């Protein structure tokens, strides 16, 4: 399943645009899969290392700072393997 999942730069950008910051406890609305895509992105004048999980989350890191994002909208579905449970949305 992981080998069949990939995102190009445009798809990753769309995924990020659709994603929202996750507050405390919201990560539990998402599953976790052993499929990730890693890279670097420039945003807000900073360069972040990112990791996208196939279950709809991403984490951005710059030094000691980390941002946790989730993509739960229906428009996110083409970019993930497993959408979050609608009951948590």
Q: What is the tens place of the pLDDT at every residue in 47-79?
A: 999 999 999 999 999 999 999 999 999 999 999
Confidence category of residue 86, pLDDT binned at 50, 70, 90:
low
Q: How far is CA 35 from CA 3, 30, 40, 43, 59, in A?
A: 8, 14, 17, 24, 14
Q: Report the percent of the chain where pLDDT is more than 90.
A: 80
Look over the chain and give the mean of its residue pLDDT values, rounded to a whole number. 92
Q: Is 68 helix (H, G, I), strand (E, B) or coil?
A: strand
Match 């993930």 to its residue by tokens: 80
Examine the pLDDT at 89 and tell me if it is beyond 80: no
Report the C-alpha gap between 55 and 81 in whole angstroms.
6
What pLDDT, on the 0 to 100 scale, is given for residue 1? 84
pTM of the model: 0.89
């Amino acid at each position: 399943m992981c080998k069949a999942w990939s995102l190009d730069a445009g798809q990753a950008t769309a995924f990020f645009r659709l994603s929202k910051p996750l507050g405390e406890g919201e990560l539990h609305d998402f599953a976790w899969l052993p499929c990730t895509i890693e890279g670097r992105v420039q945003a807000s004048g900073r360069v972040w290392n990112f990791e996208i999980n196939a279950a709809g989350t991403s984490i951005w890191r710059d030094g000691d700072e980390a941002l946790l994002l989730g993509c739960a909208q229906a428009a996110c579905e083409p970019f993930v393997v497993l959408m979050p449970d609608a009951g948590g949305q």
